[in-house]
A and B are shown apart, each in its own frame.
Chain A
Amino acid sequence: MAVAESEPLVEMSHIRVAFGGVHAVDDVSINLHAGEVIGLVGGNGAGKSTLMKALSGAHPPNSGEIRVEGRRVTIANPRDAKLYNIECIYQTLALADNIDAPGNVFLGRELTTMWGSMDDGAMEDATRKVMGRLNPNFKRFAQAVKSLSGGQRQAVAIARAVHFNARILIMDEPTAALGPAETSQVRDLIRQLKTEGIGIFLISHDIHDVFDLSDRISVMYHGRIVDTIKKTETTADDVLGMIILGKKPEQVTQKELAELQLPGQSPAPNLAS
């Protein structure tokens, strides 16, 4: 099962997150190795984003254990997560719309001069460098990010994670708002980050993205992990079956399979839409 024999970068064990009486994440264990991409898939409300928020500090877990490079850690807020080089690109991007790109890239971690004032020059310089990698045509460093296009905003959000040398990167639907050209840019970037030894959790609705980029795929259903499998040992149909039915392929009955295929004879409904 193990992709590498080395110690995992992140190990989350028996994580539970409850909203009121509902367990959004219920006893989930998952691990991630350096240079590995785990595709996290599942229907709406399966608990993918909630599980990742437990790791990024946005919503700490009610119980369970998180280990980073073997060391047990407590992540109570986003500041803690950043201490362990865990960066998260949220689906909403989490940008302050009224502030420019350098301000957003360095938000919460501003560079300062020797007098403690913000060093705007140094921040813009660093932002120009990292944006040059992500989106070479980007020139609007002085405008509030409100006025940028969807792809440019996405690039700013990614730049924020990349610049700070993330070891563990969480990407929640990174291509959902992008056009084809921009999507392929983000894919290239993920491959590049992977070769740099960064571990990536990739949440996506796009099954092609997941198969294209992931090493392993974890399927979530109603707050639990159905299975975590190597990409090479499964098929898109099996994964879609698990997403919809919440069962491993060998547990699925003929009746359920029949029901699944009823509408339009297509082997699997298109979840990407």
Chain B
Amino acid sequence: MADIASAAPRQAPAAPRFSIRGALSAAEIDFRLFGMLLALVAILVGFNVVNEGTFLRPENMTTLAVQGAGVAVLATGMVLVIVARNIDLSVGSLVGFIAMSYALLMTNWLPNILGMGDDFPFRWLIALALGVGLGAVFGAVQGFIIAYVGVPSFVVTLGGLLSIRGAVWVLSQGAAVSGLDPTFQLLGGSAQGSIGGTLTWAVAIVGSLAIIALIVYNRRQRRRFGFPVRPMWAEVTIAAVGCLAVIGLAAFANGNYWPVGAATRYAQEHGITEPPGGLKIAVGLPWPVVILIAVTVVMTFLATRRRFGRYVYAYGGNPEAAELAGINTRWTVVKIYILMGVLCAISAAIAAARLNGSTLDVGQSYELYVIAAAVVGGTSFAGGIGTIPGAVLGAFVMQALAYGLAYTGYNSPIQNIVAGIVLVLAVGFDAYNRRRGGGS
């Protein structure tokens, strides 16, 4: 028996053992990102099992995505802040300040000071542009003090956290403000604030084509210079998996229908006779999710394809080397904070639109969730390491845990306990993995 057992393996050729990590590295897929995706899926499936299959439904996932979008948008910028060896504690307060500004702009300042009444065209866009400008200015001021005056970012943005939150109170004199422009409200992602079934399919098709175009373009570029290219099976598999994922998500999002009341009202308004069982209007992707997708694509492009991103990573990896290479490192840091301010304005728009107004505590504690998302997503405080898709995934891992626990019936103290433990575990696992040399 023993002889046969020991002889058997000898007959097999010494082919390299198939390993997931080996296949991934041949396909040049980020092992870490893949692990995060698996963790997210595991969390969702886990809650689905615990809740006897009621959890993984389009309406729940849509709500989860809308709730997580505001933090995820900010996390894409926080990655660059932390990669460049800085921190921004003021994002929550700045979101609150800009959200309050949107509310006051549309209820008071635009109509009463600038004479733009309810019927003024593109009022929502004017408010949005002013908010983005406000975010950029706040970011520029903080960035200037950090980069040119030399006050540590922790101190500057801690000051920002306190004083900007105070400024929210001063703006509204302590009152909550409500009543936004109807178009602006759509940014909040209600049933109406979604792009609908047809556009969701369109987004999926554009996304699939973009994935294929990107793979073909990269392969052509490498061929042009005669560099080694990925094996064909890897290219095809990646393209197929990417397109299937995009189309699958679109189909899933379109499985969510308008609430019965809203659908009935819509049918009456448009003179449609409701079919038996009610009118089924696909909700599709909510606007906050569309915004998040756009922000993620643009930020990834900035971080990986533009000189700005290269300089951010170079500065984070070795500030002295970046300086000696002739990079204007101070201006780079200011630009990061300007970008962070703009993202605060986008996140604030989603928050204000969801509330149809603003209160004193919009954005409260966001800075903590955002930093946690970036760190769970693989951003290192040592500087120079972190990816934007990773941070978005990190935000959704945290959001999925919170939402899933709430859905299962645990209150927010329990959610916080779990979130804190997961944060430390994720970073601990990462540190362990890197020490074993698996990080590269």
Contact = CB atoms under 8 A, between A and B. Distances in A.
A74 interface: no
Contacts of A108: 311, 322, 325-327
Contacts of B310: 99, 103, 107, 110, 118
A78 B326 contact: yes
B31 to A, nearest CB: 14
A185 interface: no
Interface residues of A, number: 34
A169 to B, nearest CB: 15
Nearest to A125: B225
Chain A to chain B: the 4 pairs with minimum beta-carbon distance, closest first:
A98-B317, A108-B325, A98-B384, A79-B326
A144 interface: yes
A270 interface: no
Interface residues of B, number: 28
A182 to B, nearest CB: 21
Interface string B286-323: 00000000000000010001110011011011101111
Interface of B: 221-222, 224-225, 227, 301, 305-307, 310-311, 313-314, 316-318, 320-328, 384-385, 440
A223 to B, nearest CB: 23
A124 interface: yes
Contact of A107 (B301, B320, B322): B322
Given A117-B306, A124-B225, 18 more contacts: A56-B324, A78-B324, A78-B325, A79-B328, A90-B324, A94-B324, A96-B322, A99-B314, A103-B314, A107-B310, A107-B325, A108-B322, A109-B326, A118-B310, A120-B221, A121-B224, A121-B227, A125-B225
Interface string A90-129: 1011111111000100011110100011101110110010
A13 B318 CA distance: 33
A143 B325 CA distance: 20
A82 interface: yes
A96 B306 contact: no
B321 A94 contact: yes
A79 B313 CA distance: 19
Contacts of B318: 94-98
Helix, strand, loop or mixed for chain B's interface? helix
Contacts of A124: 225, 227
Contact of B324 (A58, A99, A147): A58
B307 A118 contact: yes
Contact of B221 (A78, A92, A121): A121
A262 B323 CA distance: 46
Contact of B385 (A79, A98, A107, A122): A98
Contact of B305 (A78, A98, A118, A147): A118
B323 A78 contact: yes
B314 A77 contact: no
Given A90-B324, A96-B317, A96-B321, A118 B440 contact: no
Contacts of A56: 324
Interface in A124-169: 124-125, 128, 143-144, 147
Interface of A: 56, 58, 77-79, 82, 88, 90, 92-99, 103, 107-110, 112, 116-118, 120-122, 124-125, 128, 143-144, 147
Contacts of B322: 96, 107-108
Contacts of A77: 326
A237 B41 CA distance: 72
Given A107-B327, A121-B224, A98 B313 contact: yes
A77 B326 CA distance: 7
B306 A94 contact: no
Contacts of A93: 321
A263 B309 CA distance: 57
A234 to B, nearest CB: 33
Given A121-B222, A121-B225, A125-B225, A107 B440 contact: no
Contacts of B320: 92, 94
A122 B311 CA distance: 18
A55 to B, nearest CB: 13
A90 B320 CA distance: 11
A155 B327 CA distance: 21
A206 B31 CA distance: 45
Nearest to A82: B326
A182 B411 CA distance: 64
Nearest to A53: B324
Given A92-B320, A97-B318, A97-B384, A118 B306 contact: yes
B218 to A, nearest CB: 9
Contacts of A116: 306-307
A204 B320 CA distance: 22
A96 B314 contact: yes
A79 B385 CA distance: 26
Contacts of A125: 225, 227
A118 B224 CA distance: 16
A124 B323 CA distance: 22
Nearest to B307: A110
A82 B385 CA distance: 28
Contacts of A88: 324
29 contacts: A56-B324, A58-B323, A58-B324, A78-B325, A79-B326, A90-B324, A96-B313, A96-B318, A96-B325, A98-B313, A98-B314, A98-B316, A98-B384, A99-B317, A107-B310, A107-B314, A107-B321, A107-B322, A107-B327, A108-B322, A108-B327, A110-B307, A110-B310, A112-B307, A116-B306, A121-B221, A121-B224, A125-B227, A147-B440
A117 B324 contact: no
A93 B301 CA distance: 29
A240 to B, nearest CB: 31
A158 to B, nearest CB: 15
A95 B306 CA distance: 19
Contacts of B385: 98
A144 to B, nearest CB: 7
A197 to B, nearest CB: 24
Contact of B384 (A58, A92, A96, A110): A96
Contacts of B301: 117
A99 B313 contact: yes
Contacts of B311: 108
Nearest to A78: B326
A220 B247 CA distance: 70
A109 B325 CA distance: 8
